[in-house]
Amino acid sequence: LSDRLSGVLDKLTRQGALSDADVSTALREVRVALLEADVSLPVARDFVKKVQEQATGQAVTKSVTPGQQVIKIVHDALVTTLAGDDINAGELKIDSPPAPILMVGLQGSGKTTTTGKLAKRMTDKMGKRVLMASLDTRRPAAMEQLAVLGMQIGVDTLPIVPGQTPVQIAKRAKQQATLGGYDVYMLDTAGRLSIDDELMEEVAAVRDEAKPHETLLVVDGLTGQDAVNTAENFDSRIGISGVVLTRMDGDGRGGAALSMRAVTGKPIKFVGLGEKMDAIEEFHPERVAGRILGMGDIVSLVEKAQEQIEAEQAEKMMKRFQKGQFNMNDLKGQLEQMMKMGGMQGVMGMMPGMGKLSKQMDEAGLDDKVLKRQIALIDSMTKKERRNPQILQASRKKRIAAGAGMEVADLNKLLKMHRQMADMMKKMGKMGKKGMMRGGLG
């Protein structure tokens, strides 16, 4: 990330929660960073707007600045956007042989190279029999290129027959794949320097002939705005099933990935990382997100800070419990922890003797809704009452329950739970501090 961005982020004042101004300041710089990373303007704009809504009002973790915290939020949102709902980034639909895979994209994007890389991958890693065919009738050298690649990686290529159209070659590839018992056949199409109708018609005709199980758009990861136009065009006119981003080994920041995903909604399946035949890997959204922001260290810093604070709080709480102190604030802390962890696995879960009570609380159906209501009850008490709930009189109980939108019976239940827990704490305190903690914290 640019020094300028780091500078601005550092200057943001530290507060309890992210203010509108904090978020706006940070996001203005994030937007510039996205554009510098080659994310297209409309995609960057939409993305920043989405993050703005998410970030405002979030609590700031101690020991990181609001700016850093915004970056973390931005990073997480990037990962989510890049990953979409695709859980199988590196998978191809090739289970009904012979499965046709159509490779499309502009000239020089890396189609032929990627065809070879994927063929090798399927052969080596999955034991598939793959046939590759070049449909690039415009440049005789292109067919030779694929044939040479095939020899190099030990994958068969369809013999070259001069004078055939791409559709005729596709037909022949299918015959050959069927007769030869291949699992997969890959159709490497010709590209153009830019989108044109002739190209689209040619590729559409091949698609209609081959009915591909996968249509992979190969895009140069170094291109920004152009990549979006390319993806939009290919997807609307041909229909793609996934994207391969090449040249991710270069200086580019991979903004094309975000644009691509946002515009087409199609999964990015692989990234190309060099000219060699094994320089390809499954798409990892975190890596690309880190690359777009260039701030991997900040993201992990924020994560560490959050972990550390949790450990600090837990330790403090344990010390109080050991002294037999357990007031409503402590109970609230426990309830919040339960909400976060989805059950009684918090600090209490680590203490001997608490298992039974934990189980009771679990069985009492303490789901998020109930927990939230209990926390609301505690919030309606004064500081003094929270420290010492015994002072609560009937009239105050009524007011507190009403303040939290509940019945006095609900409050009584909560107070009973607190008494039980406090008793337990006291007993354990008397048992001595030795042996209190089973595993130790932090």
Closer to ligand GDP by Cβ: residue 192 or 426: 192
3-state secondary structure of 109: coil
Q: Please give the full DSSP string across 215-253, using - where no structure is assigned.
A: EEEEEETT-SHHHHHHHHHHHHHT--SEEEEE-TTSS--
Q: Are 223 and 254 in contact (CB under 8 A)?
A: no
Question: 163: annotated binding-site residue?
Answer: no
For residues 91 and 282, give the distance between their C-alpha atoms in angstroms, rounded to a whole number: 8
- Picking from 325, 365, 330, the residue whose alpha carbon sits closest to that of residue 347 is 330
Phi, psi of 75 (to 5 degrees): -60, -50
Question: Could you tell me which residues are beta bridge partners of residue 131?
Answer: 156, 185
Piece in contact with ligand GDP (CB under 6 A), picked from 108-116, 127-135, 224-232, 430-438? 108-116
Structure tokens given for 213: 């199980």
3-state secondary structure of 442: coil
Closer to Mg ion by Cβ: residue 185 or 326: 185
Q: How far is the CB of 186 from Mg ion (least distance, A)?
A: 12
| Phi-psi domain of 123 (left: phi exceeds 0; alpha: psi -120 through 50; beta: other) | alpha
Closer to ligand GDP by Cβ: residue 47 or 270: 270
107 part of the interface to ligand GDP, by CB under 6 A: yes
Closer to ligand GDP by Cβ: residue 249 or 303: 249
Angle at 74 between CA 71 and CA 76, to 5 degrees: 110
Residues that bind Mg ion (CB under 5 A): 111-112, 142
Question: 89: annotated binding-site residue?
Answer: no
254 part of the interface to ligand GDP, by CB under 6 A: no
- Picking from 286, 265, 215, 275, the residue whose alpha carbon sits closest to that of residue 244 is 215
Question: 225: annotated binding-site residue?
Answer: no
Binding mask 167-196 for ligand GDP (x = CB under 6 A): ------------------------x-----
112 part of the interface to ligand GDP, by CB under 6 A: yes
- How many CA atoms does the CB half-sphere of 442 hold within 13 Å? 13
Total residues in contact with ligand GDP, by rule CB under 6 A: 19
Question: 108: annotated binding-site residue?
Answer: yes
Q: How far is the CB of 71 from ligand GDP (least distance, A)?
A: 28
Piece in contact with ligand GDP (CB under 6 A), picked from 8-16, 171-179, 232-240, 274-282? 274-282
Binding mask 233-252 for ligand GDP (x = CB under 6 A): -------------xx-xx--
313 part of the interface to ligand GDP, by CB under 6 A: no
Which residues are part of a known binding site for GTP?
105-112, 188-192, 246-249
Binding site for ligand GDP (CB under 6 A): 105, 107-113, 191, 218, 246-247, 249-250, 272-275, 279
